[in-house]
Amino acid sequence: MAPLLEVKNLHYYYGNIHSVKGIDLYVDEGEIVTLIGANGAGKTTTLQTISGLTSPRGVRGEILFKGKPIQRLRGNRVVGLGLMQVLEGRHIFAKLSVEENLLTGAYLRKDAAGIREDLGEVYALFPRLLERRAQLGGTLSGGEQQMLAIGRALINKPRMMLLDEPSLGLAPLIIKEIFIAIKKINSEGTTVLFVEQNSKIALATASRGYVLQTGEVVMHNTCENLLNNEDVKKAYLGM
């Protein structure tokens, strides 16, 4: 069976800057896969190129989602195929309420009853959002905004979710809560690919991992093997 997502010899150019250099990766249906690496390794650019958030003019190589090429599609078309990204920094609407923010994620849907049902499931996953559903998004804590951003993506019922630095700037207890939620989302049928600076929690959450360095994949293995790899321990786990 073909992977749900397959990236073949992906390059990305910001003008003359060659930021992604021939990346190959795949994600099977139902997996959680992580990309780890230092700042500037090309992790975010890789995710944004998959999601159609970078200029198609800078893309070389092939990105297949559900077996079909998407490397020339804009972000709104990619979302319509069932591939959603939660951006680094959350990017929620500060002047909309929590519930209004969540409902913006359902803009492609027409089934009002189904949307309400899925809204209830998001509130069950993140009870804090239910408590604050009338509160303005901009008044939430960083952790609550991250929950809101993930919930907004879930409302569109994605086949696959991409997350960029979900732990960024959050307290340890909130990080634990966010990653418990990511595992639950995956257990309920959503495939996950995420970028994470906290390599320890990334490798403890995913089943496989790719290590990126200056725009290239330098290592790929199960997370168990990566956790036991001496180079990974020294470079990314502080051991």
Residue 113 in tokens = 């009853």
Which pLDDT does position 86 carry in this prediction?
A: 96
| 119 occurs within a structural domain | no
Closest CA to 138 of 86, 93, 170: 93
Which pLDDT does position 116 carry in this prediction?
A: 94
How far is it, in rounded angstroms, from Cα 157 to Cα 205?
Answer: 22
The DSSP letter of residue 102 is H
| 189 occurs within a structural domain | yes
| 217 occurs within a structural domain | yes
How far is it, in rounded angstroms, from Cα 204 to Cα 50?
Answer: 24
How far is it, in rounded angstroms, from Cα 231 to Cα 155?
Answer: 40
The CATH code of the domain that includes 171 is 3.40.50.300
Taken in order 205, 211, 217, 220, the sign of the CA dihedral is negative
| 111 occurs within a structural domain | no
Which pLDDT does position 81 carry in this prediction?
A: 95
**Reduced to 3 states, what is the DSSP secondary structure of residue 106?**
coil
Range of the domain at 205: 5-90+159-236
| 26 occurs within a structural domain | yes
Closest CA to 53 of 83, 24, 97, 33: 83
Strands 5-14 and 216-222: unpaired
| 118 occurs within a structural domain | no
**CA 178 remoteness from chain centre:** 12
Please report which helix (H) or strand (E) contains residue 181, including its range.
Answer: helix 172-187
Q: What is the CA radius of gyration of the chain?
A: 17
Residue type, position 151, single letter: G
**Reduced to 3 states, what is the DSSP secondary structure of residue 4?**
coil
Which pLDDT does position 239 carry in this prediction?
A: 58
**pTM attached to this predicted model:** 0.94
Question: What are the DSSP E strand ranges found in the chain?
Answer: 5-14, 17-27, 32-36, 59-65, 68-69, 83-86, 160-164, 191-195, 208-213, 216-222
Give the number of domains in the chain.
Answer: 1
Q: Judge contact between 10 and 49, C-beta under 8 A.
A: yes
| 18 occurs within a structural domain | yes
| 97 occurs within a structural domain | no
Intervals of the chain under pLDDT 50: none
Closest CA to 25 of 79, 68, 63: 63
